[in-house]
């Protein structure tokens, strides 16, 4: 292949990929414009295809607060729900989204089950653009088992409940409990109820 053809082929691949991404996300608004829930999905084992009961699904809403000359992003609300025996979840959020202030972002989701890689960093599927995947009928998330202690330690840092709440034992008790289970298995001290809690 000549250099000119190689450059043309590369440009075509990059531009079509960018176009495809833009088309997949073009209906994604940056901020909430109405209630988008309830949010739904199913969590399964990526290898066995069996449902994963007891996985914690966390939704975190942030908002951009405008102050003179700039804006700051701040946490607005957080909710959690646990998957049922079929690995399914439904997260209601009308109370959060109906009363949300202007410039509130769509929720970000985290899914955690001890021993498995967390969503959205370590899941096997879905891949690519994940905005809005839990709207309407929802989607299936495949979590793979973590193979090494190091992987599990990195995964645990990613889903640290204090990343999402200043009082996770109040707002995210199931995530805090499962994080403590994983910490114990890995030989770490569990979080205590009073740790890091803002007075």
Q: How far apart are CA 57 and CA 44, in angstroms?
A: 13
pLDDT band at 3 (very low <50, low <70, confident <90, very high): low
Q: Is the pLDDT of residue 68 over 60?
A: yes
Q: Is the pLDDT of residue 28 over 80?
A: no
Q: Is the pLDDT of residue 197 over 80?
A: no
Q: Is the pLDDT of residue 39 over 60?
A: yes
The tens digit of pLDDT for each residue in 174-190 reads 999 999 999 999 999 99
Taking the alpha carbons at both ends of the chain, their separation in whole angstroms is: 67
Cis peptide bond upstream of 96, omega within 30:
no
Note the helical H segments in the chain. Answer: 3-25, 94-97, 149-158, 168-171, 173-185
**Average pLDDT of the residues of the chain:** 83
What value does the CA radius of gyration of the chain take, rounded to a whole number of Å? 20
Cβ-count burial 118-140 (b if 16+ within 10 Å, e if not)? bbeebbeeeeeeeebbbeeebee
Q: How far apart are CA 195 and CA 198, in angstroms?
A: 9
pLDDT band at 198 (very low <50, low <70, confident <90, very high): very low
Residue 53's SS3 state is coil
pLDDT band at 23 (very low <50, low <70, confident <90, very high): very low
Tokens found for residue 5: 């053809």
Query: What is the per-residue pLDDT for 111?
Result: 97
Q: Is the pLDDT of residue 73 over 90?
A: no
Assigned fold of 29-185: Immunoglobulin-like (2.60.40)
Q: How far apart are CA 99 and CA 34, in angstroms?
A: 10
* Over residues 26-36, mean pLDDT: 72
* Over residues 145-164, mean pLDDT: 93
Lateral strand order in the sheet of 56-67? 70-82, 56-67, 108-112
The tens digit of pLDDT for each residue in 123-149 reads 999 988 888 899 989 999 999 999 899
pLDDT band at 171 (very low <50, low <70, confident <90, very high): very high
Q: Confirm if 38 and 93 have CB atoms less than 8 A apart.
A: yes
């Amino acid at each position: 292949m000549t250099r000119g053809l190689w450059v043309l082929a590369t440009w075509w691949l990059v531009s079509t990929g960018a176009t495809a991404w833009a088309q997949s996300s073009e209906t994604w608004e940056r901020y909430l414009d109405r209630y988008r829930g309830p949010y739904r999905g199913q969590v399964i084992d990526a290898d066995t295809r069996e449902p994963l009961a007891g996985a914690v699904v966390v939704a975190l809403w942030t908002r951009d607060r405008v102050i003179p000359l700039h804006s700051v992003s701040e946490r607005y609300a957080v909710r959690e729900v646990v998957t049922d025996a079929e690995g399914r979840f439904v997260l209601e959020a009308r109370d959060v989204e109906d009363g949300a202030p202007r410039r509130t972002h769509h929720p970000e989701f985290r899914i955690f089950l001890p021993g498995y890689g967390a969503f959205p960093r370590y899941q096997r599927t879905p891949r690519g653009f994940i905005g809005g995947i839990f709207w309407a009928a929802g989607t299936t998330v495949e979590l793979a088992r973590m193979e090494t202690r190091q992987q599990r330690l990195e995964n645990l840092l990613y889903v640290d409940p204090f990343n999402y709440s200043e009082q996770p034992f109040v707002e995210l008790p199931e995530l805090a409990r499962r994080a403590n289970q994983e910490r114990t298995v890995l030989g770490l001290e569990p979080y205590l109820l009073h740790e890091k809690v803002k007075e």
